[in-house]
Amino acid sequence: MSSPAQTEIPTPLGDLKIQYTKIFINNEWHDSVSGKKFPVFNPATEEIICHVEEGDKADVDKAVKAARQAFQIGSTWRTMDASERGLLLNKLADLMERDRLLLATMESMNAGKVFPQAYMMDLDISIKTLKYCAGWADKIHGQTIPSDGDIFTYTRREPIGVCGQIIPWNGPLIMLTWKIGPALACGNTVIVKPAEQTPLTALHMASLVKEAGFPPGVVNVVPGYGPTAGAAISSHMDIDKVAFTGSTEVGKLIKEAAGKSNLKRVTLELGGKSPCIVFADADLDNAVEFAHQGVFFHQGQICIAASRLFVEESIYDEFVKRSVERAKKYVLGNPLNAGINQGPQIDKEQHTKILDLIESGKKEGAKLECGGGRWGNKGFFVQPTVFSNVTDEMRIAKEEIFGPVQQIMKFKCIDDVIKRANNTSYGLAAGVFTKDLDKALTVSSALQAGVVWVNCYLAMAVQCPFGGFKMSGNGRELGEHGIYEYTELKTVAMKISQKNS
Amino acid sequence: MATINGAVENGQPDGKPPALPRPIRNLEVKFTKIFINNDWHESKSGKKFATYNPSTLEKICEVEEGDKPDVDKAVEAAQAAFQRDSPWRQLDALRRGQLLHQLADLLERDRAILATLETMDTGKPFLHAFFVDLEGCIKTFRYFAGWADKIQGRTIPTDNNVVCFTRHEPIGVCGAITPWNFPLLMLAWKLAPALCCGNTVVLKPAEQTPLTALYLGSLIKEVGFPPGVVNIVPGFGPTVGAAISSHPQINKIAFTGSTEVGKLVKEAASRSNLKRVTLELGGKNPCIVCADADLDLAVECAHQGVFFNQGQCCTAASRVFVEEQVYGEFVRRSVEYAKKRPVGDPFDAKTEQGPQIDQKQFDKILELIESGKKEGAKLECGGSAMEDRGLFIKPTVFSDVTDNMRIAKEEIFGPVQPILKFKNLEEVIKRANSTDYGLTAAVFTKNLDKALKLASALESGTVWINCYNAFYTQAPFGGFKMSGNGRELGEYALAEYTEVKTVTIKLNDKNP
C-alpha cells in the first residue's frame, strides 16, 4: 500500500448527524413502500447507529421507472454534451473533497474502518476514481470502418441504459464510485443498492449527486437486503445491466437471475484466494511488509487478500519470524479513536465464520504462530493471526477467510509453485517477489490472476483495469477497459453511391 | 457558428436572459516581460517593442523584446524541468491533469480580464473574445486535463520468446509559435496537449498580440506548474521564431500561421536537428451550396464563415460555390447580410466586426479587392475601407467570380466574400479540390448521399455539413496538402506530443 502523504489527518467529526436515511429516487427522498425500516450497526460497539428505509421490489420498481424515464431519447441526460457529464462528475468529486471529514467519519463508524485509512485512502481513491472517469466522458470513441461494399460504416458506443449496481460493505464509498463513475461517464442511469450493513455513505453521496446537478432519475439509491432488493434488481425485466461486487456464492445467483430474466449484461467482482510467491532472491523486508498488508489490510476484508503465501524454502523460517513480529504490532479498538490501527470485522456472521476457520487451521495441523481467536468482549474483533506450516489441503488454504489471518506455505521449485498458486477456482490477484527480471516476467505471465503485482501488493491505481480470472469475476472495472463495459456498441451502415478509400 | 454559451452559470432565477459580460474598464497591463522559470525577465538586449490597439491605433504598452539569447535561456530552463528525476517528470499523470483543470478554473475566474486584453490587442469584438476565444480555451484545457492519465502504450504479442511493450513518452522541449488571429486560443491548442503529455514548452506569441500569453504566464505560476515547464518569449519571427525553429535542443515545434512562414519553419527544423513539426497554415476553403440546401442556413453559415473575426480565420469560407438554380437568390441574401453587418468599436456589444490587425494586412486586403474589380468580378457591396476609420474595411461581396481570379486563388484574410457558380457535383468537386490548400470545406445539402459523397471526395482536413466553424475540442483539426502537417485537438493531438519507445525484453529460453 503506498503510504499517505505527509498531510495532517484531522480528528473525526465529533457530533456526526446522520441526515439521510431514506430511499433516493428522482433526486427526492422517499419512505419505503412497505413502511419498513432496518437497523444499521456500528461493528465496533454493536450498537445501532440509526434506522434506514428498507427497500424491496416495489421500491426497486419505482427506481427503475425513474431511471428509465431519465434515459429516454430527448431527455436532459441523453441530450447533454458528453463533456458536461464529465463536468458533473468532477463537481461530485469536488463535493466529496468538501465533505471528506464527514464521509470518512461515517465510513469509519459504519464499516469499521480505521479512521486515518478511511480519510486518506478510501476518500482519496474514491475522489480520484470520479475524476478519472470524468475525463473519459467525451473521449468514448466509436470508429469509422473500411467495410466491404459501397457502404459507409461506423460504430457508436452508446450507454447501455438502466444499470443496477450492488455494492459491498468492505469498501462502501470506493466501490460506489467504481460503479457510478464509469456508468455515468458513459451516459447510463443507475440504481444503486448499497450493502445492508453499510448504506450510510451511499445515501450521503446521493445528496451530493443532487447538489452537483445531475438530472433527476440519473442516480437512484435503494437500500435494502440481498434476497429482496438485490434479487429484484438481478431479475428485473427493465434493467439492462447488473454490476455486483461481493462473494462468489452470491455472484453466481446474480448471473443466474440475469440469464433467467432478460439476459441483462453482467459484470462481477467476486472473491479470491490470492497467492503471493516470495522467491529467495526477493528483498525480504519489502516482501514481508507487502505480504503482510496484503492480507491484513482492513482486517483482511478485501477480495484481493494475499491469503496464500508461498515462500521459497531457503528463506522460509526467517520470513515467518519477521511476519509474526509484524503481525504483533496492532492496537485493536474503536476505529474512530486515535492510536487504533485495527478495527472490528463487519458483523456477527463474518466474525463467526472467521473464528470457525481459525479453529479448522488449528485442528488440521497448521502451526499457530500468534493470535488465534476473538479479541475483547464487545464488537466483532479478531486477533491478528498467523499460521505457518500450512498445506494446500487445509481449509484455511482453500476457503476465503476474509479476516486477519495469514497462511504461510513453503515451496521448493518454480514450476511447482506456479501450479499450486493456480490450483484454485479463484483468480483475482497474485503477488510475485523477486529481483530477477526473467522470473518476474515469466511468473507473472503464468499466473491465472486478473492483477499480478511484482514486488508490491495492493498497488491499486484508478487508471488500471481490475477484475478476476475464473470464478473471481467477469469483466473489468476501471481503466479504459472498464469504461467500455458500460457501453453498448452499435454499428451503423449507410449505403452510398460509390465508395472511395 | 461556434458555440455562444458562456453566461449560463449567471442565469437569473426569474427567467430573464442573463446579463452580457462587460469588459474591464481602464485595464492595467501587468505582465510585459519575458517569462522563464516562473519568473519575469528583461530581454538580454535591453530592447522592448510596442504593441498597439488596432481599433484606436494607439500604443497599449511596451513589451520586452526577446531574441536568440533569451530563447537559449528559456530552452535551458525547459530542459532542466524535463530532466529525469525532475518534479515534472516524477509527477503522477493524474496530477498533471489536475493542474490543467486548475488552470482552466483560473481562466474562468479571469475570463473578463483576458477577453478585454484580447480585444485591446487584436481588435476582435469583446463578446466574441469572451464567448468564443475564452470558451474554447477553457474547454481545451479541461479536455486535455482528462487525457493526462489515459495516454497508454501497448503490450504486443511479437514473435519469439520476448516481452514487448511500448511507452508513449513526452517528446521533451516543445517550441510553439502562435498567430495573432486567435492569440490565446491557438496557444491553448498547443499548450494543453503538450503539458498533458508531460512535455515542457517554450512559446513565442505573435508580436502583434503578446499580452494574453503573458497574462497566462502569471496563471501558470499561480496554479503551481513547476518552474521551467512553461516559458514565454515575446518577440519577432525572424529573431525569436527563427531561433526556436532551428534550436538544436528543442525537440518539436508547433506553428500556426501563414503557409509561407510554415515552409520556413519546416525547413529550419529539418536543417537543424530534424525536430518534429506540426503546422496549421492557410486555407482557401470551399463552401458548397447545393440547390436542395436550406438556403437561409447556408447563407448565414457562409456569411459568418467568411466574415467572422474580420475574415481573419484560416478556415475562412473564401470560395463560395453555389449551384446554378439558387445562385441569384443566394447572392441577393448574402449581400443583405453583408450590408447589415455592424462594423465598429469592438467594445460595443452590438459590433460584429472590428478593425483588421495592422496596416500590412489592411493594405493586402484592399489590394486583393482592387484585383477583384480589375479582373471582372461583380462588386455587390463594400469594396473599400470604412471612411475615416483607420484599419476598418467594409464587408465586401463579389459575385460572378471565376476560378482564375486572384480573389479565388489567394488567401485574402479579410472581410471579402467571393461567390462562384457551379452546375453539377463532379464539376464542383474538381474545382473545390484544385488548390494547394486543404484545410476545411463545407457542404450544404439535405440529401444523404450527396453529403456523404462530398465528405469523402473533398481534400480537406475538416468537412462541415450544414454548419460552419463547428469546432470541438474532442475532434481533430488540421490540413491536407499545404494547409498543414498533423492534427490538433481530439485524441489525435496526443500522437503529436508523444514519442513512442518500444521496449523488447528477451526472456531466457532455458526457463519454463
pLDDT tens-digit series, residues A226-247: 999 999 999 999 999 999 999 9
The pLDDT confidence band at residue B18, using thresholds 50, 70 and 90, is confident
Residue range B237-256: average pLDDT? 98
Confirm if A311 and A477 have CB atoms less than 8 A apart.
no
Mean pLDDT by runs of 10 across the 501 residues of chain A is 60 95 98 98 97 98 98 98 98 98 98 97 98 98 94 96 98 98 98 98 98 98 98 98 97 97 97 98 98 97 97 98 97 96 96 98 98 95 98 98 98 97 98 97 96 96 96 96 96 93 89
Chain A: closest CA distance from residue B203 (Å): 26
Q: What pLDDT does residue B511 have?
A: 55
Mutation target to probe the A interface, by most A beta carbons within 10 A, among B453, B463, B491, B509 is B453
Residues of A in contact with B142 (CB under 8 A): 83, 86-87
Chain A: closest CA distance from residue B327 (Å): 26
Residue range B79-108: average pLDDT? 97
Identify the DSSP state of A237.
Answer: T
Is the CB of B448 less than 8 angstroms away from the CB of A87? Answer: no
ipTM for the whole predicted complex goes beyond 0.90: no
Query: What does the pLDDT look like over A322-342, one tens digit per residue?
Result: 999 999 999 999 999 999 999
Residues of B belonging to the active site:
280, 314
Q: What pLDDT does residue B176 have?
A: 98
Is the CB of B448 less than 8 angstroms away from the CB of A415? Answer: no
The residues, any chain, with a CB within 8 Å of residue A476's CB and separated by 6 or more, are: A267, A450, A465, A466, A467, A482, A485
Mutation target to probe the B interface, by most B beta carbons within 10 A, among A88, A130, A442 is A442
The pLDDT confidence band at residue B179, using thresholds 50, 70 and 90, is very high
Instruction: Flag whether pLDDT at B14 surpasses 70.
Output: no
Instruction: Flag whether pLDDT at B5 surpasses 90.
Output: no
Predicted TM-score (pTM) of this structure:
0.92
**Phi, psi of A217, deg, nearest 5:** 90, -10
The whole-chain average pLDDT of chain B stands at 95
Residue range B293-312: average pLDDT? 98
Query: What does the pLDDT look like over B361-373, one tens digit per residue?
Result: 999 999 999 999 9
**Phi, psi of A253, deg, nearest 5:** -65, -40
**Phi, psi of A371, deg, nearest 5:** 70, -140
Chain B: closest CA distance from residue A152 (Å): 8
Q: What pLDDT does residue A254 have?
A: 98
Mutation target to probe the B interface, by most B beta carbons within 10 A, among A133, A143, A144, A498 is A498
Q: Tell me how far apart the alpha carbons of residues B144 and B151 are, in angstroms, rounded to a whole number.
A: 11
Q: What pLDDT does residue B387 have?
A: 80
Closest residue in A to B145 (Cα–Cα): A135
Contact A436/B at CB under 8 A: no
Measure CB to CB from residue A132 to each of B149, B448, B474 and give the nearest one: B149
Residues of B in contact with A441 (CB under 8 A): 163, 505, 507
Query: What does the pLDDT look like over B498-508, one tens digit per residue?
Result: 999 999 999 98
Nine-digit cell at A200? 450510510
Closest residue in A to B148 (Cα–Cα): A135
Closest residue in A to B101 (Cα–Cα): A90
Q: What pLDDT does residue A8 have?
A: 84
Measure CB to CB from residue B97 to each of A135, A496, A500 and give the nearest one: A135
Chain B: closest CA distance from residue A135 (Å): 4
Query: What does the pLDDT look like over A268-300, one tens digit per residue?
Result: 999 999 999 999 999 999 999 999 999 999 999
Query: What does the pLDDT look like over B143-157, one tens digit per residue?
Result: 999 999 999 999 999
CA dihedral A176, A180, A183, A189 (to 10 degrees): 120
> What residue ranges in B171-224 does DSSP mark as E strands?
173-177, 200-204
Query: What does the pLDDT look like over B376-386, one tens digit per residue?
Result: 999 999 999 99
Confirm if B302 and B317 have CB atoms less than 8 A apart.
yes
Q: Tell me how far apart the alpha carbons of residues B191 and B187 are, in angstroms, rounded to a whole number.
A: 6
Q: What pLDDT does residue B15 have?
A: 66
Element (H, E) at B499: strand B498-506
Measure CB to CB from residue B512 to each of A415, A437, A462 and give the nearest one: A415
Residues of B in contact with A415 (CB under 8 A): 512
Q: What pLDDT does residue A143 have?
A: 95
